[in-house]
Structure 1
Amino acid sequence: MFRFLHAFKGVKYYLFVSFILWTSILVPKFALAQTDSLKANNLKEIKITQKRSSLQNLSPTPLQILNGTALKKLNSLSVADAIRYFSGVQLKDYGGIGGLKTINVRSMGTNHTAVFYDGVQLGNAQNGQVDLGKFSLDNIEEISLYSGQKSELLMPAKAFASASSLYLKSIVPTFEANQNRNFRIALKTGSFGLIDPSVTYNQRLNHKLSVSLNAELINANGKYKYRYTNSVYDTTVVRHNADIFAKRIEGGLYGTTADSSIWQLKLYNYNSERGVPGAIVANRFEFPQRQWDDNFFVQSSYQNNFNKKLQFLVNAKYAYDFTRYLDPERVSLSGALDNRYAHQELYLSFASQYHLTKYWDLSLSTDYTFQKLDANLENFAYPERQTGLIAFATKLSWQRFSIQGNILTTLVADRVKNNSPAGDKAEYTPTLMASWQPFAKDNLRLRAFYKSIFRMPTFNDLYYTFIGNSKLNPEYTTQYDFGFTYSKSFERKRLTNISIQADAYYSAVRDKIIAIPTLTLFRWTMVNLGKVEVKGLETNIQSNWVIDQVQVIAKANYTYERALDVTPRSEVFGQQIPYIPINSGSITFGVDYKNFGFNYSYIYTGERYSQKANIPVNYVEPWYTHDLALRYSFTVAKINYSIATEMNNVFNQYYDVVLNYPMPGRNFRITLITKFN
């Protein structure tokens, strides 16, 4: 690979050459396809009828899905609440409605999980983390988690570029016959002073164009009781500075064309002010720190289906994220600490898939991302990053066997105004996946995948004043997975369907980025020191029952995981890394009878350690919660109403997900929803 003469020119040149090579191959076929499409007299809208359960069975990588029906039944307010029911997931939750919530899949670290919203990744070059507590379930239709990556070929190059992927799909407007508009108004209220109204308006402009608008307001004082214990006394205290006031509005424009192409345009804005609840140590219970967030993005997507052989997918996005952090307790000559960050991102993607033969498909995806970060910090680096991704993938599919592979090229170039930039990076990472049905009459499938990938150090890792280290290497991961899926349906039986997924996996992370102290304990720096090996087992079981007029769905997830620090010459060699339980799982049980619905859920997280050393002083006790929900729906004068009551943490267990950040005890929530034309 040639060395860049200039990073920006190098990335553009490489992307340009790859684009020309690909289009020179496909343009003749594109023209023929377009001609064929113009000859067609009747063009019908494409409808996807494949069930989600079959997608899970056919996927060569572990796939977990919560769709609209299942999401409604869970006691969940945000996306972070819902993903707790996935296996192999650790959710870092700092407590309360407004606390930071991030996902960690299979113990590889938060930065190794990409989060996509309507097919486009949510980027954060500053710290690499996506706060899932910001994303309400009010406008979410489906949440899906892939360990590894999707098996689809027509997708952006970014979808190939992470160890795991979380996809959030917003609700697309639908209309009944002779209906051109509909409304949905919802109100949630409950413990901690929660007031959460939302409204959705959908309008069909014509038979090929519709618009949707969704707005939500969240206000809560965040005051909840928790238990505080030290060597002197055991008491109950009220949590302070966990309040939040947030506004979210998003709009979408959805269209189809005469040649069955589909497109959409989405605008999104989230604005909040919240307290930053601190760690409860040394008898300190109140904190004055505040944080303001203003997140905006506009994105568009266009997928063109000219014929069965050739497809294109184009994505574009601009995002602006502003964060302000105020700490009145940290005062210097210039006043109280008042840090302000502004992150901007421009993203362009072009993907294409060509159906070469009945069994063979090819695809090429090319992405370009420009990111920059501004801040009011002294001696700030003002970094800019350009990233080029090129993914070439191929897939061979037969009725009972499929194999897929891809190679991803990653080109990264950083520039800074102050200090030294990180060197330009050029990496090549492969992935191989396979799925096999060994018996023709049995819906048992074996699956396996190998994936090598890495994550770039964030701007904070590289350039944060006095802490960043511009000489950091990327964090590399290698994944191996072998598992099976099995499903069976029964006719005229009370048990109508049962499905099982189980996977054994091994992952290794090298050049792990960690913070260590320098000459004093008051100044730290980032270095590549860590190595982690993860060995685990995931199981997911679901059964559906019909007993007269009663429908029952029962699910159970379990994860066994050993995530060990294997850094050479480490004092904690062979010990479990912080906050990773060996055993964890969940159970959900739902019953529907006529207009009534009942749901019970149970979540268990085993013992963990808060620091690297697995010693008694760092021991964190296991925790579990029981949640209940009851729903009732009815119709009056062609207006649909529903009411749901929830009781969370029924037995009022006091626990910490992150040590010294107490979680709420027993709490309640009521949801009222009305839908009308």
Structure 2
Amino acid sequence: MKNNISFFFSRLSLYNGRCYLSLCFLLINYIANAQTDTAATLNQVDIKSSVAPQLQTSTPAQTINQIDFLRTNSFNVADAIRNMAGINIRDYGGIGGLKTVSVRSLGANHTAVLYDGVQINDAQNGQIDLSKFNLNNIQGITLYNAQPDDICMPARSFAAASILSITTVKPNLTQTKPYKIIAGIKGGSFGLYNPNLQWQQRLGKRWSFILNTYAQHANGQYRFKEDKDGSDTLAIRRNSDVRIYQADGGLYWTKSDSNKFSFQVNYYNADRGLPGPNVLYVSYDGQRLYNRDIFLQSAYRFIAKNSLQLLLNSKISQNYLRYVNPNTLNNQGKTDERTTQREVYQSVALSFKLLPQLEVSYAGDFVLSDVEINVFNASPQRFAAYNVMAGNLTFGRLQLQGNLLHTYINESANTGLAAQARSAYTPTLIGKLQPFKAVHLYIRAYYKNIFRPPTLAEQYYFAIAPRPLRPEYVKQYNLGVVYGKNFNGILKYMSLSADAYYNKVKDKLIFLPTRSPETPSVVNLGLVNIRGLDVNIKSKIEPAHDCTVLVSASYTHQRAVNVTNPTDSYYGNQIQYTPLNSAAVNTGLQYKKFGVNYNYTLSSHRYDGFNNNAQSFLPAYAVSDVSFTYNPHLQRKPILAAVELNNIFNKNYSVIQSYPMAGRSVRLTFQITI
């Protein structure tokens, strides 16, 4: 299989790119002329209302849009979602530090990150670094627990315990204004310099494109307090510099709202310092991370008059990563790992309404992955097939949804043995009930079974033979309530959601440290029980004309404990880096062209080891941010000017043990739209 993948990518040239586009265009032309779409293109209408923004979905969903990014002092995707309930961001500090997300204590491997509906995958580690996604081309981000309501989606999306869906900006142009250019720049503390440019262009009645360029430079040298020895000494975080260049673009064809196609390209080039753990004033270790990533993806959606819906997604990607550590304790005295990942992905999804109350769907995904690492010989390859049947049934105010997913994994290696093929059937059942017709009150519940095979790194990394690992299984249970109400007075709306959940993890996969950093051990831990509660509140107040106040708050309580062996010293202890309580509050005041926002995040104490003792104790922390915005016009061209003050009380804290976070900082933004 590896020879097939290598052959494919060795022929990936301009010629093949043209062929790929031509095939997509021929497919569009064939279907567009063979069928009649179900809806005509509608003119844009601006509607002003005070409808509560809470998503009334069968499963919990939380959304943040482009307008909210400045309100929450967000610089990347990890910042944007930190206020969401159930979220635990693993932040290793520093400007270039890695940032991954764990939802409801299940770990980053159980969160699928979708980019305009297509999953961003890491076959090697299974974890997506959210710091790689800037916000300049993002329209909105939605976190779904379990899965969205829409059953016509790629099959691989049904396999995740939660979905982080990123939606990019699409061209929104008219014949009278066929283009839009947005130019902006950010600058601030720690040597931050961050220009960006977006160009949208209409290419006729049905075609348009968007092009984005982005650069980020920063030295990342911030001060923090060294207090582990009882002193209160200021130290400087080093080796946290970044040089990032990113370009992405999209070509869009739209015949109607029910007949559209897109083709997207994304390129990411980064040179980042990885600040190591700070241990008694010693933190500089010279680790570097180099990324050269590119992917091409296309999507086509068609809805016929008879309710038949077709969704096609294709993607090819190549990720190059080089990790350098000049201070590794091995025979060479250093580490220089170079990894190349390649993936080919194809998905087809169909849905059809058999009855007005019954919709059924089928989706099939096929993934071919290849990983090459220079430090050991066994370059593994993986073929994965996902097939799912789903149904959505509505009885008045009761909605039921279910699906059965089959996952098949087959692997090979260029040398040595490969792991045995694996397959599993995993069901999902979802229900939502509106008890009273005139009241926007919803009761929702779901059960979902998750099958997670070991990643290629867990299975093969520095292993003489494939490790005898078992897949990780998760059973998810959720029971929640959603309520929303609109008002005619000063208070315009209020929404509330509360969800209690229980997750049971069997054969949890974890890395165990060993004497040599080049021979890690991976084992199935056993059983982990997770019980939690997520609460979200949103409201809008208009105390005066041209004056709006938005308030939102979230709270999470999680008890995630190891229940593998009652004789273990850590039996019943909270698992690593999981706070018992966390909360976030955001409030913003907008008066005419001026805005002021305040954001507050709180985390209770945590532990970085299996045993909950003083040696592994991490204290609680609370961080406050403030932003000021001004939105005037310059010769009828919209202007945005903003000042963001982060960690205004200069709180000294760490999310990960020995990785101190930045103290007080400032960020300035200027943007003009032409």
TM over 0.5: yes
In structure 1, the residue matched to 2:408 is: 411
Give the counterpart of 1:527 among 499, 523, 534.
Answer: 523
Does the residue aligned with 1:330 lie in a helix, a strand or coil? coil
In structure 2, the residue matched to 1:89 is: 87
Task: Say whether the 8 Å CA contact 2:253–2:260 is kept in structure 1.
Answer: yes
Alpha-carbon separation, structure 1, partners of 2:340 and 2:260? 33
Which shows bigger deviation, 597-606 or 464-473?
A: 464-473
Residues 446/301 of structure 1: CA separation in 2 closer, same or farther (3 Å cut): same
Which shows bigger deviation, 128-137 or 224-233?
A: 224-233
In structure 2, the residue matched to 1:580 is: 578
Give the counterpart of 1:100 among 89, 98, 105.
Answer: 98
The yes-or-no answer on 1:510 pairing with 2:509 is no
Which shows bigger deviation, 250-259 or 608-617?
A: 250-259
Aligned partner letter, 1:505: Y
Q: Give the gaps of 5 or more residues in structure 1.
A: 1-7, 9-30
Alpha-carbon separation, structure 1, partners of 2:444 and 2:42? 33
Alpha-carbon separation, structure 2, partners of 1:287 and 1:526? 26
In structure 2, the residue matched to 1:14 is: none
Task: Say whether the 8 Å CA contact 1:469–1:526 is kept in structure 2.
Answer: no
- Deviation at residue 176 of structure 1 after TM alignment: 4.9
In structure 1, the residue matched to 2:119 is: 121
- Deviation at residue 288 of structure 1 after TM alignment: 1.2
- Deviation at residue 529 of structure 1 after TM alignment: 2.3
Aligned partner letter, 2:533: L
1:520-557 per-residue CA deviation (whole Å, 9 max, x = no partner) reads 89844211123110000110000111122210100010
Aligned partner letter, 1:526: V
In structure 2, the residue matched to 1:202 is: 200
Identity %: 36
Alpha-carbon separation, structure 1, partners of 2:357 and 2:52? 20
Residues 521/168 of structure 1: CA separation in 2 closer, same or farther (3 Å cut): closer
In structure 2, the residue matched to 1:71 is: 69
Report matched runs for 1:92-171 at 5 Å. 92-171=90-169
Residues 32/76 of structure 1: CA separation in 2 closer, same or farther (3 Å cut): closer
Which shows bigger deviation, 598-607 or 330-339?
A: 330-339
Report matched runs for 1:222-241 at 5 Å. 222-231=220-229, 233-241=231-239
In structure 2, the residue matched to 1:17 is: none
Alpha-carbon separation, structure 2, partners of 1:273 and 1:388? 34
Alpha-carbon separation, structure 2, partners of 1:183 and 1:611? 50
1:394-440 per-residue CA deviation (whole Å, 9 max, x = no partner) reads 01124411000000000110101223211101100000001100011
Residues 516/36 of structure 1: CA separation in 2 closer, same or farther (3 Å cut): closer
Task: Say whether the 8 Å CA contact 1:420–1:470 is kept in structure 2.
Answer: no
Does the residue aligned with 2:556 lie in a helix, a strand or coil? strand
Give the counterpart of 1:648 among 643, 646, 653.
Answer: 646
The yes-or-no answer on 1:483 pairing with 2:480 is yes
In structure 1, the residue matched to 2:555 is: 558
Alpha-carbon separation, structure 2, partners of 1:426 and 1:368? 14
In structure 2, the residue matched to 1:4 is: none
Residues 520/224 of structure 1: CA separation in 2 closer, same or farther (3 Å cut): closer
Alpha-carbon separation, structure 2, partners of 1:455 and 1:468? 20
Aligned partner letter, 1:557: S
Give the counterpart of 1:617 among 592, 615, 618.
Answer: 615
Residues 258/605 of structure 1: CA separation in 2 closer, same or farther (3 Å cut): closer
Counting matched residue pairs gives: 644
Aligned partner letter, 2:494: I
Give the counterpart of 1:464 among 452, 461, 465.
Answer: 461
Task: Say whether the 8 Å CA contact 1:608–1:621 is kept in structure 2.
Answer: yes
In structure 1, the residue matched to 2:360 is: 362
Which shows bigger deviation, 60-69 or 514-523?
A: 514-523
Give the counterpart of 1:539 among 515, 535, 549.
Answer: 535
Report matched runs for 1:216-227 at 5 Å. 216-227=214-225
1:170-199 per-residue CA deviation (whole Å, 9 max, x = no partner) reads 111112561000100010000000000000
Task: Say whether the 8 Å CA contact 2:32–2:259 is kept in structure 1.
Answer: no
Alpha-carbon separation, structure 2, partners of 1:49 and 1:171? 18
Alpha-carbon separation, structure 1, partners of 2:385 and 2:205? 38
Does the residue aligned with 1:86 lie in a helix, a strand or coil? coil
TM-score, structure 1 normalization: 0.91
Residues 329/36 of structure 1: CA separation in 2 closer, same or farther (3 Å cut): closer
Alpha-carbon separation, structure 2, partners of 1:158 and 1:80? 23
Alpha-carbon separation, structure 2, partners of 1:667 and 1:519? 39
Task: Say whether the 8 Å CA contact 1:57–1:487 is kept in structure 2.
Answer: no
- Deviation at residue 119 of structure 1 after TM alignment: 0.5
1:38-70 per-residue CA deviation (whole Å, 9 max, x = no partner) reads 8x9x94459899999778443110000001222
Aligned partner letter, 2:552: K
Task: Say whether the 8 Å CA contact 2:318–2:340 is kept in structure 1.
Answer: yes
RMSD, aligned CA: 2.4
Alpha-carbon separation, structure 2, partners of 1:324 and 1:606? 36
Alpha-carbon separation, structure 2, partners of 1:604 and 1:278? 25
In structure 1, the residue matched to 2:657 is: 659
- Deviation at residue 209 of structure 1 after TM alignment: 0.9
Task: Say whether the 8 Å CA contact 2:51–2:486 is kept in structure 1.
Answer: no
Alpha-carbon separation, structure 2, partners of 1:615 and 1:664? 26
Residues 57/338 of structure 1: CA separation in 2 closer, same or farther (3 Å cut): closer
Alpha-carbon separation, structure 2, partners of 1:522 and 1:70? 43
1:326-355 per-residue CA deviation (whole Å, 9 max, x = no partner) reads 122237666742110000000000000001
In structure 1, the residue matched to 2:250 is: 252
Alpha-carbon separation, structure 2, partners of 1:214 and 1:606? 39
Does the residue aligned with 1:487 lie in a helix, a strand or coil? strand
Residues 550/232 of structure 1: CA separation in 2 closer, same or farther (3 Å cut): closer
Alpha-carbon separation, structure 1, partners of 2:298 and 2:472? 31
In structure 2, the residue matched to 1:313 is: 311
- Deviation at residue 234 of structure 1 after TM alignment: 2.8
Task: Say whether the 8 Å CA contact 2:220–2:237 is kept in structure 1.
Answer: yes
Task: Say whether the 8 Å CA contact 2:285–2:325 is kept in structure 1.
Answer: no
In structure 1, the residue matched to 2:13 is: none
